[in-house]
Amino acid sequence: MTQHNEAPIRVGLLGAGTVGSQTARLLVEQRDELSARTGRPIELVGVACLDPSKVDAPWIDKALLTTDTAGLCQRADIVVELIGGLEPARTFVLTAIEAGASVVTANKALLAKFGPELYQAADERGVDIYFEAAVGGAIPLVRPLRESLVGDRVSSMLGIVNGTTNYILDEMTTKGLDFEVALNDAQAKGYAEADPTGDIEGEDAANKAAIMATLAFHTATSIDDVTVEGITSITADDIAAATAEHKVVKLLAVVENGEAGVSARVYPALIDENHPLASVHGSFNAVFVHAEAADDLMFYGRGAGGAPTASAVVGDIVTEARHIAQGCTGPSIPLYKDLPKAPIDASKAAFAVRFLIRDKPGVLAAIATEFADRGVSINGVNQDLQPTRHDPGYSGELQQLRIVTHQCDELTLRETVKAVCSLDFVTGTPSILRVLD
Amino acid sequence: MTQHNEAPIRVGLLGAGTVGSQTARLLVEQRDELSARTGRPIELVGVACLDPSKVDAPWIDKALLTTDTAGLCQRADIVVELIGGLEPARTFVLTAIEAGASVVTANKALLAKFGPELYQAADERGVDIYFEAAVGGAIPLVRPLRESLVGDRVSSMLGIVNGTTNYILDEMTTKGLDFEVALNDAQAKGYAEADPTGDIEGEDAANKAAIMATLAFHTATSIDDVTVEGITSITADDIAAATAEHKVVKLLAVVENGEAGVSARVYPALIDENHPLASVHGSFNAVFVHAEAADDLMFYGRGAGGAPTASAVVGDIVTEARHIAQGCTGPSIPLYKDLPKAPIDASKAAFAVRFLIRDKPGVLAAIATEFADRGVSINGVNQDLQPTRHDPGYSGELQQLRIVTHQCDELTLRETVKAVCSLDFVTGTPSILRVLD
């Protein structure tokens, strides 16, 4: 084994929150093991935070706490950015890169917005940027994509990458709760933030989708390229209808490299209760990868939380420490393909549409005609579902009509739904869910 | 992006069978993409095989085929060993290392027997040895263990790592087949080899368990340290009894770092039909990893097959090519922990034991007394199961008695079963299966 009598690798942590303090714990508690695995000591040289008096982590030497974040970026070999958000995180990461430090980050929003800029800056400066924890928390997903599958062609990825929405949908399913009730419950238990917008509107999942598409297809994909639909319009009736058909509703992040180009989308979808993703509960994440030679792969684990995320962060720190010890760098993020982005309207899917109608003879025929006129083939119809108090615009005279289509393109489907909604016996806002094959 | 005007990295393939020819295909068909991702051309300089006239892979330039395996080891930067078995594979790998080549191998038997010797040889010579394809085929499992989880402490791994036995058990479950019938069927369909011993006796899974334990616990673990039980004694009655209890029988590889030390075992076990491993079918593999900080992780994918295995092999080739281009090496396999091996008798589990008995009053009381006398607590008893023609020693007068225990140590359980079998109304060979929590 390599001797450990060399100069230590200096690690600077930006942020002393949940993930930051757990990362510090692993670095301190496992110092000897990490040194043995790296071949050189790894030393925590500073922890930058806004208010050192509020840091509650007994394993962090108080002398390491600092408010001089930019200064820490200058004196570390590896800067670990755990601040989150776009600014000042972006500035500090660029400062670190310019100073010749490598960067480890768990910041999905930063990478989804400025990833290609940062990857290029690191490449040009000859340093590395690692971000295993930015997608799927503890799940090794970024490294397999960057390295294990480098000799293969990934065609699609699909998964559950947001634990908060997964928890809320679970609660709605198992307890029959309304969305608002389930959300309040999740907030009370600490599974959802006080401002839950980023999770429930799908933005967090969209950030991860952008990072996945960039890595999988070697094509810069930003959050602005992702079509996003959250779960705020999912009602208890949607869930009840799904349950009746032995399906569950899950918020999916889907990236594909199809004939029309690269697409990245986040939407709630109906999946069969026997599908492996149906049994992914609570804060767990799971991602399917389809590659030409490897075929189907799935990765499953904790998508969030201090210790699990810190596990991924420390794995990156050790990998980078080895590179520094050897004077080399890891793989860059090659974006040479620069594939076109597929228009969302061109995407094909099967849909489940739920209309609220005033029932009378001829209603189904009229609706079916609108579908037929536009070439949208109907797979099934269900008129047994009773509307509940959950439905906006409910009155005793109303019924639900649920139509599941075969594969059709999204633009045509939306035009069809619009036409149906203009029929005089259709009322309220229809619910539209994709159905996973 | 790095320019590609440098000398190519020379790759020599040893073996032109299913995996070898698919590896060659990916290297040839994706030459440009692999160069773009590596920053330097990757060139296939030779394919060693016993009889070039038998190689049926139109994408391999006939001029590359050679029977001079040792010579190819001398003139390649990366030697890809896909011969399998212990010798001459071991000699060729050592020849390559001595010549300064790095090695990529999919050879689980070789690594399970001689891994630590080869890792050390590579370390001393300053070259790398990569083997993602040796465990779990296409599934990125070795790289996550070596790198992603390097800052964490893995406490256990548990999984389905042999597709042949998984297929046979699936067929027995869904079609009610006897073991021999299911095996013959698997052989006819090419899912089992003409000599299936290595699969059905658990040796292939045991090789993978040895490699997993070595990596996970930083402790040299060889195939000789693995306690192995195959599936040859599983009968249709075992499967029927499992089905009646909403369980399935799966062949598991289990490695643990417990108080008594490192254990590595392969055995068939009963698992609940809702357990994620219960839905792993056919040739798919899945491995659970439990680590201190990351908590539970699962990896799933194709455990065998030419193209999936080649995907993992090419990922390793590209990773190593990057190292060579940079003049550095990957992480070594640190075996510094050298933990003791736990004795198999010390392992605790719940067991399901099925006895064949001549029923008469007092039988259950007598058997229960033997369990009670040794402190083995009984969780459930089932005497409704009728023996079938499948049972060796069947006659119309015999009945089955099935006892499920609480957690107990293996030695005590085996002594108890031995005592029960010496009772005069017990006949035949009992079936003993572990029950997964």
- Span B361-376, pLDDT tens digits: 888 999 999 999 999 9
Q: Kindly report the nearest CA distance between residue A296 and chain B, in angstroms.
A: 6
Query: Is B201 flagged in the annotation as binding?
Result: no
Alpha carbon distance A287, A341 (integer Å): 22
* β-strand partners of A48: A14, A66
Nearest to B69 by CA among B87, B56, B45, B50: B50
Q: Which of B26, B147, B291 is the closest to A151 by Cβ?
A: B26
- Across the interface, do A317 and B22 touch by the CB < 8 Å criterion? no
A420 phi, psi to nearest 5 deg: -60, -40
Whether A94 and A81 map to the same domain: the answer is: yes
The residue of chain A nearest to residue B34, with distances taken between CA atoms, is A151
Q: How far is C-alpha B364 from the geometric centre of its chain's CA atoms?
A: 39
Q: Kindly report the nearest CA distance between residue B403 and chain A, in angstroms.
A: 30
Q: Kindly report the nearest CA distance between residue B331 and chain A, in angstroms.
A: 7
- Across the interface, do A302 and B294 touch by the CB < 8 Å criterion? yes
Alpha carbon distance B70, B93 (integer Å): 9
Alpha carbon distance A52, A62 (integer Å): 8
Alpha carbon distance B130, A148 (integer Å): 11
Whether A102 and A236 map to the same domain: the answer is: no
Whether B180 and B295 map to the same domain: the answer is: yes
Whether B364 and B229 map to the same domain: the answer is: no
Query: What pairing do the DSSP bridges indicate for beta strands B348-358 and B426-435?
Result: antiparallel
Mutate to test the interface with B, among A152, A287, A300 (most CBs of B within 10 A): A152
- Across the interface, do B37 and A152 touch by the CB < 8 Å criterion? no
What average pLDDT score do residues B339-348 get? 83
For tokens 């005089």, name the residue. Answer: A424
Is 80 exceeded by the pLDDT of residue B138? yes
Residues 6+ away with beta carbon under 8 Å from B294: A138, A301, A302, A307, A308, A311, A312, B149, B152
Q: What is the pLDDT of residue B36?
A: 82
| Cα B71 to Cα A410, B67, B76, B98, distances in angstroms | 59, 9, 9, 13
Q: How many CB atoms lie within 10 A of CB B180?
A: 10
Query: Is B15 flagged in the annotation as binding?
Result: yes
Whether B25 and B103 map to the same domain: the answer is: yes
Q: Which of A132, A308, A331 is the closest to B293 by Cβ?
A: A308
pLDDT tens-digit readout, B73-124: 999 999 999 999 999 999 999 999 999 999 999 999 999 999 999 999 999 9
Number of domains in chain A: 3
Among A268, A291, A326, where does a domain finish? A326
Alpha carbon distance A139, B146 (integer Å): 14
**Residues of A with Cβ-Cβ distance to B274 under 8 angstroms:** 279
- Across the interface, do A143 and B138 touch by the CB < 8 Å criterion? no
Dihedral of the alpha carbons of A209, A213, A214, A215, in degrees to the nearest 10: 100
Q: What is the pLDDT of residue B3?
A: 45
The residue of chain B nearest to residue A32, with distances taken between CA atoms, is B151
Nearest to B434 by CA among B317, B244, B266, B246: B266
The packing angle between helices A163-175 and A236-244, to 10°, is 70
Is residue B127 within 8 A of residue B102, CB to CB? The reply is yes
- Across the interface, do B297 and A140 touch by the CB < 8 Å criterion? yes
- Across the interface, do A302 and B314 touch by the CB < 8 Å criterion? no
Q: What is the pLDDT of residue A398?
A: 79
Q: Report the binding-site residues of A for L-homoserine.
A: 193
Residues 6+ away with beta carbon under 8 Å from B397: B358, B359
**Residues of B with Cβ-Cβ distance to A294 under 8 angstroms:** 138, 301-302, 307-308, 311-312
What average pLDDT score do residues B231-256 get? 94
- Across the interface, do A301 and B300 touch by the CB < 8 Å criterion? no
Q: What is the pLDDT of residue B318?
A: 95
Whether A200 and A256 map to the same domain: the answer is: yes
The number of residues making up chain B comes to 437
Alpha carbon distance B55, B377 (integer Å): 59
pLDDT tens-digit readout, B154-206: 999 999 999 999 999 999 999 999 999 999 999 998 888 999 999 999 999 99
DSSP states of A66-121: ES-HHHHHHH-SEEEE---SSTTHHHHHHHHHHTT-EEEE--HHHHHHHHHHHHHH
Residues of chain A under the 50 pLDDT cut: 1-4
Residues 6+ away with beta carbon under 8 Å from A136: A159, A161, A208, A285, A287, A299, A301, A303
**Banded model confidence at residue B2, pLDDT cuts 50, 70, 90:** very low
* Number of H-type helices and E-type strands within chain A: 14, 17
Q: Kindly report the nearest CA distance between residue B334 and chain A, in angstroms.
A: 6
Is residue A64 within 8 A of residue A44, CB to CB? The reply is yes
**Residues of A with Cβ-Cβ distance to B317 under 8 angstroms:** 151
Mutate to test the interface with B, among A128, A139, A150 (most CBs of B within 10 A): A150
Alpha carbon distance A223, A109 (integer Å): 8
Mutate to test the interface with A, among B135, B147, B160, B287 (most CBs of A within 10 A): B147
Q: Kindly report the nearest CA distance between residue A82 and chain B, in angstroms.
A: 17
Q: Which residue range is the domain that position A359 belongs to?
A: 344-435
Alpha carbon distance A386, A381 (integer Å): 14
Q: What is the pLDDT of residue A58?
A: 94
**Residues of A with Cβ-Cβ distance to B36 under 8 angstroms:** 334, 336
Which one of the listed residues A113, A208, A247, A250 is annotated catalytic?
A208
Nearest to A135 by CA among A156, A168, A116, A162: A162
Q: What is the pLDDT of residue B4?
A: 44
Nearest to B100 by CA among B79, B118, B82, B117: B79
**Residues of A with Cβ-Cβ distance to B310 under 8 angstroms:** 293
The residue of chain B nearest to residue A331, with distances taken between CA atoms, is B322
CATH number at residue B61: 3.40.50.720
Decide if A332 is inside a domain. Answer: no
Among B249, B270, B302, where does a domain finish? B302
Is residue A73 within 8 A of residue A99, CB to CB? The reply is yes
Q: Kindly report the nearest CA distance between residue A301 and chain B, in angstroms.
A: 4
- Across the interface, do B147 and A315 touch by the CB < 8 Å criterion? yes
pLDDT tens-digit readout, A109-122: 999 999 999 999 99
- Across the interface, do A300 and B298 touch by the CB < 8 Å criterion? yes
Whether B260 and B321 map to the same domain: the answer is: no
Annotated catalytic residue A360: no
Alpha carbon distance A140, B294 (integer Å): 10
The residue of chain A nearest to residue B301, with distances taken between CA atoms, is A297
**Residues of A with Cβ-Cβ distance to B218 under 8 angstroms:** 37
Whether B217 and B73 map to the same domain: the answer is: no
Decide if B335 is inside a domain. Answer: no
Q: Report the binding-site residues of A for NADP(+).
A: 14-21
Is 90 exceeded by the pLDDT of residue B391? no
Decide if A229 is inside a domain. Answer: yes
Query: Is B19 flagged in the annotation as binding?
Result: yes
Query: Is B245 flagged in the annotation as binding?
Result: no
Decide if B375 is inside a domain. Answer: yes
Is 70 exceeded by the pLDDT of residue B235? yes
Is residue B136 within 8 A of residue B144, CB to CB? The reply is no
Mutate to test the interface with B, among A272, A280, A309, A311 (most CBs of B within 10 A): A311
Reported ipTM: 0.89
- Across the interface, do B144 and A143 touch by the CB < 8 Å criterion? yes
Alpha carbon distance A208, B92 (integer Å): 44
Sign of CA dihedral A192, A198, A202, A203: negative
**Residues of A with Cβ-Cβ distance to B143 under 8 angstroms:** 140, 143-144, 147-148
Whether A185 and A125 map to the same domain: the answer is: no
Beta strands in B154-308 (DSSP E): 154-160, 227-228, 247-258, 261-272, 284-291, 295-302
Please, what's the b/e burial string for A131-159 (b: 16 or more CB within 10 A of its CB; e: otherwise)? Answer: bbbbbbbbbbbbbbbbbbbbbbbbebbbb
The residue of chain B nearest to residue A19, with distances taken between CA atoms, is B293
> Which ranges in B218-264 belong to alpha helices (H)?
236-244
Query: Is B183 flagged in the annotation as binding?
Result: no
Catalytically active residues of B are 208
| Cα A395 to Cα A158, A290, A358, A391, distances in angstroms | 39, 46, 10, 9
- Amino acid type, A82: L
The residue of chain A nearest to residue B308, with distances taken between CA atoms, is A294
Whether B180 and B287 map to the same domain: the answer is: yes
Q: What is the pLDDT of residue A361?
A: 81
Decide if B337 is inside a domain. Answer: no
The larger pLDDT score, comparing residue B40 to residue A274, is at B40
Decide if A124 is inside a domain. Answer: yes
The residue of chain B nearest to residue A309, with distances taken between CA atoms, is B294
Q: How many CB atoms lie within 10 A of CB B190?
A: 7
- Across the interface, do A150 and B293 touch by the CB < 8 Å criterion? no
Q: Which of A27, A149, A151 is the closest to B34 by Cβ?
A: A151
For tokens 């599958």, name the residue. Answer: A149
Q: What is the pLDDT of residue B1?
A: 39
Q: What is the pLDDT of residue B218?
A: 93
- Across the interface, do B140 and A132 touch by the CB < 8 Å criterion? no
Is residue A319 within 8 A of residue A9, CB to CB? The reply is no
| Secondary structure (3-state) at B391 | coil
Alpha carbon distance A198, B372 (integer Å): 58
Pair of tokens at residue B19: 């995996």
A312 phi, psi to nearest 5 deg: -70, -40
Q: Which of B139, B297, B308 is the closest to A138 by Cβ?
A: B297
The residue of chain A nearest to residue B324, with distances taken between CA atoms, is A328
Angle at B270 between CA B266 and CA B272, to 5 degrees: 130
Whether A169 and A127 map to the same domain: the answer is: no
CATH number at residue A421: 3.30.70.260
Contacts 24+ apart (CB under 8 A), B25-33: B25/B57, B25/B59, B25/B310, B26/A151, B26/A152, B26/A293, B26/B310, B26/B311, B26/B314, B27/A151, B27/B314, B27/B317, B28/B59, B28/B60, B29/B59, B30/A151, B30/A153, B30/B314, B33/A153
Decide if B74 is inside a domain. Answer: yes
Pair of tokens at residue A395: 């009155």
Alpha carbon distance A237, A178 (integer Å): 9
Nearest to B137 by CA among B5, B316, B15, B259: B316
Q: What is the pLDDT of residue A3?
A: 45
Is residue B217 within 8 A of residue B257, CB to CB? The reply is yes
Is 50 exceeded by the pLDDT of residue B53? yes
**Residues of A with Cβ-Cβ distance to B297 under 8 angstroms:** 138-140, 299-302
Among B294, B326, B358, where does a domain finish? B326
Is residue B229 within 8 A of residue B254, CB to CB? The reply is no
Is residue A41 within 8 A of residue A9, CB to CB? The reply is yes
Q: What is the pLDDT of residue B337?
A: 82
- Across the interface, do A295 and B138 touch by the CB < 8 Å criterion? yes
- Across the interface, do A143 and B143 touch by the CB < 8 Å criterion? yes
Is residue B131 within 8 A of residue B106, CB to CB? The reply is yes
Alpha carbon distance A96, A73 (integer Å): 5
Decide if A248 is inside a domain. Answer: yes
- Across the interface, do B315 and A147 touch by the CB < 8 Å criterion? yes
Whether A293 and A321 map to the same domain: the answer is: no
CATH number at residue B209: 3.30.360.10
